[in-house]
Structure 1
Amino acid sequence: MRPRMPHPIDLFAALADIGPLAGPAPHGNHPTVTVTVTGITLDSRSVLPGDVYAALPGAARHGAEFAPQAARSGAVAILTDEAGAAILRERVHPGDSVVPPVVVVPDPRRAVGPLARVIYGNRQDDGEAGPTLFGITGTNGKTTSTYFLNALLEALGRSTGLIGTIEIRAGEDAIPSALTTPESPQVHSLLALMRERGLDAASMEVSSHALEFGRVDGVRFDVAGFTNLTQDHLDLHGTMEDYFAVKASLFTPERSRSAVVLVDDPWGSRLAATADVPVLTVRTEAGQDAGQDAAPPADWTVTSVERSGLGHSFVLQGRTGHRLRVRCGLPGTFNISNAALATIMVLASGVPAEDLQRALDAHDPFTTEVPGRMQLIGEEPAAIVDFAHNPDALQRTLASVRRPGGRVISVFGATGQRDESKRPIMGAVGARLSDILIVTDDDPHDEDEAVIRRAVRAGADDAVRNEGLGCEVLEVFPRAEAIDRAVALAGASDTIIIAGRGHEVWQEVKGINLSLDDRVELRSALTRHGFSVLSAAGIES
């Protein structure tokens, strides 16, 4: 997904534009003639004629090893570091035309985002028209909040784009996502495509990995949003302090113009107090109950929460007296927070409150279906698929689905080769909030599935024993059989929650991708055991 009409630019003029990131004088074997480029990519397999191939060091191999392949596909220059240049000197003879000019910069990982911004013409600070950019970070709620943002913007008559975990969309065209946030050259090419198509706005999930690895370098969001911060990704960041510091880097003048921050947890309050951009704060009633009353009054507060179908209606009360009436049709009290964040982010972008209220009243935008996020598959029993894959998300999900007179039957596992410390914590959360907990496999990757299950089950069993819980803990695998067992044990008044994988359609086991979609398996199991289902298969494909 690239712009159809790229604007050629001289590579060395573009390098001069990014200043110190290019080094004092980019060097290599490049000639003195102009090198005209029309694109840039990190993937040698996706090179198009006219591209710069950015050869970066990887975990196992250096991108310079793939430079000949990039050249054969039409790369007009190779951007790399000293190590990459050394690899090319060893493998390419002087005068060999197989590899195009090589340009060496000190840190190509940090240079490639700003360089992509220049190559694709995303010069937001030059006053050039382009989509209003919304970026959302936080541990949980990013995907749903971006879908809510776009649904509200479309209710206002705006055309939208989306870059996120589930899909990348530029208007009506959509492709599945491989990463929560793509690499920076793809981000900038997508933004250029959205500008070329005249889209009004774009929403993007901004993961901590994206911030850590420079995937949004060179992007400046009009409004940045923060959901929450809970234990996750400590295998990358090490500590919660380091995790917070990475998230907080989005809320600086280099990356955003303004911000909306949920202050339902202490991390949000801290971020709102220390951000270097103008901030609007939002607090839900849950946040007030959680001991946040001593914090400064929020700019917007959720009040008057009432049940509305499977979801809730509520009021956003402004500190200056303004009120917005909002409804969210998706289950889960945490979706109140997601809807509130999306609403105030659109308000912060300059949309008048009166226009927002008309759109909210006329279109019910927060009843949009979000694939794999509290996605309802059946009603009797209530059968739900959700992406909850860390302790806080699981707590929020399980606490929100219990129905009067019914049991909660949960199915989940833990991902392999990720933060091991959260496995027993998740097991304990499941035991506390479920009547029946079925421990199964998630994506084990290269780990032993039994070892992962054992850690999750240990946390559940300890909680049952030490806290006197009545939860029945089972261990069933593979995952499809666990889902079937949950349905077999359910009655019409019960709630089944399949957590952890959400929209994902492949399960990685020792390097092999196995076809597995929780929504398909749950739908099939419900039908097999004589229950009805709500939606036909389709959204997951």
Structure 2
Amino acid sequence: MTSTARMRPARPADCRLSDLVDVFSLVSVGVDPASTVVQGVSVASDDVLPGELFVAVPGARTHGAAHARAAVEAGAVAVVTDAAGRDVLGDLAGRVPVLLTDEPRAVAGLLAAHVLDHPARRLRTVGVTGTNGKTTTTYFVDAALRAAHATTAVLGTVELRIGADAIESPRTTVEAPVLQNVLALALERGATAVAMEVSSHALALHRVAGTVFDVVGFTNLQRDHLDFHGDMEGYFRDKARLFAPGQARRGVVVVDDEWGRRLAAQAQIPVESVATHVDDPAAADADWAVVTADVGLDGVGSSFTLRGPDGREHVASSPLPGLVNVSNAALAIVLAHAAGVALDVAIAAVGTAHAIPGRMERVIERAPGRPLGIVDYAHTPDALVLALGAVRPITPGRLVIVLGSDGDRDRGKRPIMGQIAARLADVVVVTDENPRSEEPSSIRAAILDGVREVRPGLTDVHEVEPRAQAVRHGVALAGEGDTVIVTGKGHEPTQEIAGVFHRYNDRDVLLAAQAEGLADAAPADAAPDRLPGRLPDPTPDGAGRASRPGDGGDE
């Protein structure tokens, strides 16, 4: 697999368009749909294959109907849109069937699922949502599912993988028709179970419409993406959409924060609760609870004791360090068990799960004359606290952090991130993350404003750009016994600067910095290579354009 545009089952479906009109109460305003056969669905004009139905959705900047002509030229046999889209289509209604619905985005996944004969119904499906920990928990769940299923699929921020075949993921949760295509392809390739991340954007924009999950999980809710959701209440409402009849059959909720407790109480589907903070009063009433935890001093993993609903205690472990990964592992074990995996099998599989790209990933091992080098995706205030808290016990020397913050996203968290870094790390290197359309220096300035609240004199604080040079600088500042942790981008394979995507990966740069020995040897103007051409803005704008690779900001 090389592109989501080609992630279709090899044997295309064969569905009469008139059946879709009847099932979904679509209103025909163009060519009579009676004789038209549909073999797929797309919301992106440059993803359309001949014989597919193009769903033109309204967007923040343009209406997808503006790209309908290109979709038809690519082989689309019909267009679904709303009244506003019809006005944009012009005379296209005289060439192909045009079908109207009030919410084309909401119906896109339902149409795709129907055309592909509802692939999710023939798979064991597990969905994970929350602010922090979705990726780690999803990989832990996949490890447990693989212990019970010969072939599985995992879909999320890092990759879309079926069995051993994978491509970079364009975003945390792909568009609804792409999801249905991937599920159908997974079935075709023999998969029987799927673990996937479900972002709040995906839930608000109906990307999982057409999929009813067997089990869904909730990790936590922390400040992030308020630029999209408005406030924490809006963020919570969108996350809670996953725990509704018609979207999931049962749920598992971590009740360590107020949002988890509220979700467990309000969910309209059967829910099991998991308390993962030792000695938390919530543990007494939780169905599952972590009653002891040892994060270990080797920095490799953690062990814990999990009490089940029957009162029995089970010794378990996480292959990653820190209390946050005790929480992720506990949730994954309960999710996998709820999905049909024997409890002892789930515990063993999670405890031996492979390393997860960009999640507490040990890139440089500590050695004589050499610091420990870690890459972690922590890009929210709470995640940063947890990441630094996990690394401090395994750092006999100084803790060096390299961090930035995303452009065109929640600006309020930037000084908070600076405060946390200044309080919990010994040396702070402030740099760029994904500036996007913003001036990078203004983002760094906001982070440094927070740093100054803790360290007015900016002692052991460095501002370095570009990011590759900042990583090299952090390594140069560290010595034996120190730890360098590079946060914010994790696995991401690109960096977006002024609307242009550049090939960039923290892990690769950290390894290069180690090989070079001294950051001073690197040219000051070192910059990542530019990808061929310009990749599009991922904001859902109905433009029908391809998604960018490695968009980890979709929560």
The alpha carbon displacement at 1:530 in A equals 7.3
Q: Among residues 412, 421, 434, which one is paired with 2:425 in the alignment?
A: 434
Listed one character per residue, the Cα deviations across residues 129-167 of structure 1 (whole Å, up to 9, x for unaligned) are x11000000000101111111112112344210111111
Structure 2: runs of 5 or more not aligned: 1-6, 520-549, 551-555
Contact residue 219 and residue 328 of structure 2 kept, 8 A: yes
Greater CA deviation, 334-343 or 67-76?
67-76
Paired position in structure 2 for 1:450? 441
Paired position in structure 2 for 1:476? 464
Paired position in structure 1 for 2:495? 507
Paired position in structure 1 for 2:321? 331
Gap change, CA 1:197 and 1:419, over 3 Å in 2: same
Paired position in structure 2 for 1:535? none
Paired position in structure 1 for 2:143? 151
Q: Aligned partners of 1:454 and 1:221: how far apart in 2?
A: 43
Listed one character per residue, the Cα deviations across residues 419-454 of structure 1 (whole Å, up to 9, x for unaligned) are 000000000011110000111111111111111000
Instruction: Give the alignment of 1:120-269 within 5 angstroms.
Output: 120-122=116-118, 130-269=122-261
Q: Aligned partners of 2:135 and 2:69: how far apart in 1?
A: 38
Paired position in structure 2 for 1:536? none
Q: Aligned partners of 2:132 and 2:271: how far apart in 1?
A: 20
* Greater length-normalized contact order (CA 8 Å, ≥ 6 residues apart): 2
Query: What code does the residue aligned with 1:164 have?
Result: G
Query: What code does the residue aligned with 1:80 have?
Result: T
The alpha carbon displacement at 1:519 in A equals 0.7
SS in structure 1 opposite 2:41?
Answer: strand
Q: Among residues 105, 130, 133, which one is paired with 1:109 in the alignment?
A: 105
The alpha carbon displacement at 1:196 in A equals 2.4
Greater CA deviation, 188-197 or 430-439?
188-197
Q: Aligned partners of 1:234 and 1:366: how far apart in 2?
A: 36
Q: Please give the TM-score of this superposition, normalised by the length of structure 2.
A: 0.87
The alpha carbon displacement at 1:404 in A equals 5.0
Contact residue 330 and residue 374 of structure 1 kept, 8 A: yes
The alpha carbon displacement at 1:365 in A equals 4.7
Identity across the alignment (%): 43
SS in structure 1 opposite 2:407?
Answer: coil
Q: Aligned partners of 1:520 and 1:505: how far apart in 2?
A: 10
Q: Among residues 310, 314, 318, which one is paired with 2:304 in the alignment?
A: 314
The alpha carbon displacement at 1:323 in A equals 2.8
Paired position in structure 1 for 2:405? 414
The alpha carbon displacement at 1:326 in A equals 1.5
Greater CA deviation, 6-15 or 227-236?
6-15
Greater CA deviation, 492-501 or 312-321?
312-321
Q: Aligned partners of 1:463 and 1:140: how far apart in 2?
A: 25
Paired position in structure 1 for 2:478? 490
Query: What code does the residue aligned with 1:105 have?
Result: T
Q: Aligned partners of 1:490 and 1:203: how far apart in 2?
A: 38
The alpha carbon displacement at 1:523 in A equals 0.6
The alpha carbon displacement at 1:471 in A equals 6.0
Q: Among residues 20, 36, 41, which one is paired with 1:14 in the alignment?
A: 20
Count of residues paired in the alignment: 507
Gap change, CA 1:371 and 1:31, over 3 Å in 2: same
Q: Please give the TM-score of this superposition, normalised by the length of structure 1.
A: 0.90
Instruction: Give the alignment of 1:386-397 within 5 angstroms.
Output: 386-397=376-387
Q: Aligned partners of 1:106 and 1:17: how far apart in 2?
A: 15
Paired position in structure 1 for 2:48? 47
Q: Among residues 525, 528, 536, which one is paired with 2:513 in the alignment?
A: 525
SS in structure 1 opposite 2:409?
Answer: coil
Listed one character per residue, the Cα deviations across residues 97-122 of structure 1 (whole Å, up to 9, x for unaligned) are xx422112222111112111111111
Gap change, CA 1:100 and 1:313, over 3 Å in 2: same
SS in structure 1 opposite 2:432?
Answer: coil
The alpha carbon displacement at 1:349 in A equals 1.5
Paired position in structure 2 for 1:301? 289
Q: Aligned partners of 1:181 and 1:307: how far apart in 2?
A: 31
Contact residue 152 and residue 366 of structure 1 kept, 8 A: no
Contact residue 144 and residue 345 of structure 2 kept, 8 A: no
Q: Aligned partners of 1:122 and 1:258: how far apart in 2?
A: 19
Instruction: Give the alignment of 1:377-388 within 5 angstroms.
Output: 377-380=363-366, 381-388=371-378
Structure 1: runs of 5 or more not aligned: 532-539
